[in-house]
Amino acid sequence: MTAELDLEALAALVQPLDADASAATRQRLDSLARSPDALGRLDDLTVWLAGAQGSAPPRDPERARVIVFAGEHGIAYAGVSAYPPEATAWMFQLAHEGGSAVSSLARTVGASSRLLDISVDATTAEELCPYKVRRGSGRIDHEDAITRAEAETAFRNGIAIADEEVDAGADLLIPGELGVASSTVAAVLVAALTDSEPVKVIGRGSGIDDRVWMRKVVAIRDARQRARPHAIDPIRLLSVAGGADVAAMTGFLVEAAVRRTPVLLDGVMSAAAALVAHAIAPNSAVWWRAAHRTAEPAQTIALRFLGLEPVLDLGIRAGEGAGALAVLPLLRAGVRACAETATAEAAHLPRISQSG
């Protein structure tokens, strides 16, 4: 018999970053032979990573891992995407064969990736679906995405996935999503949790035209109306307006914080999952950083609510962790600059007095 899911007990396991390591790293950065804050946001990332690792200066991440949570969304049948619902299975197969843009990016920046079928509405390779909850999900504008029991199962699966990755040596995690209409689901979750009007959270997603955008407006309006009464119950909200993939990603984000493992958030779906995870365990947000800004208004609203500022704005829409992978070399560059740059004292750098 499965034990009851105790969210309060789980949240209590999340500890703060190592303040001493962060302070020591900031002190070292201030002592380097360069102008103050010379590397800007890279310095901030370096200090954050030091706190997450409990190491000053921080170590270069050696095993960055992208975990792609794939799932089918019934709301795709409302015609809210530039792609038909069955494209999810096609995209999944492409990613499995290593032919996606994200697969190439991961190889380029020295990361590895793991593709998981959480709720793809197709028969997929057995090794890709040890955590599969079901095939597909309900159309959230007029029915629940999944049952509460399925949401709990998916959430627990996300915890197990995070544990597996950390136990195997992962020292930086990147959650990615794969599924048609995922931006619609994300927008509904963000609207429900931040009490935002539908028109404020709707973006162009996969590159939709005005006609599809209008259908998306209606779908998000109706789904938000169904979701709002459940905003105080994160698991119920995930069952009503989310899906197995986003529920698994939510559990993954909470457990990453419990396991003291830093996370680079990617696009709007990971921002929405982070918002739900924050509702469960508010202290977990310090373990995450927003890698990049997308064109999705829902992401901007979610990150603002979480107090996170994206590192880059490259117009990346790909999902699957692509934007976070683009930030990884910058994170590593900041870490190495902190460790390898000479101090002002060692370099005998002359200083102009700031007094008088």
Distance CA 256, CA 173 (A): 8
Beta bridge partners of 176: 68
Encoded amino acid at 30, one letter: D
Residues 118, 154 contacting (CB under 8 angstroms): yes
DSSP category for residue 229: G
Residues with Cβ < 8 Å from 229, sequence gap 6 or more?
none
Catalytic choice (164, 320, 340, 345): 320
Residues with Cβ < 8 Å from 356, sequence gap 6 or more?
none
Residues 297, 200 contacting (CB under 8 angstroms): yes
DSSP letters, 172-213, are EEEEEEE-TTHHHHHHHHHHHHHT--HHHH---TTT--HHHH
Q: How many degrees, rounded to 5, is the angle at CA 274 between CA 299 and CA 232?
A: 105
Residues 308, 290 contacting (CB under 8 angstroms): yes
**For this structure, is 320 an active site residue?**
yes
Encoded amino acid at 64, one letter: A
Distance CA 168, CA 183 (A): 31
> In what order do the strands lie in the sheet containing 112-119?
112-119, 64-71, 172-178, 263-265, 288-290
Distance CA 311, CA 307 (A): 13
- Catalytic positions, please? 320
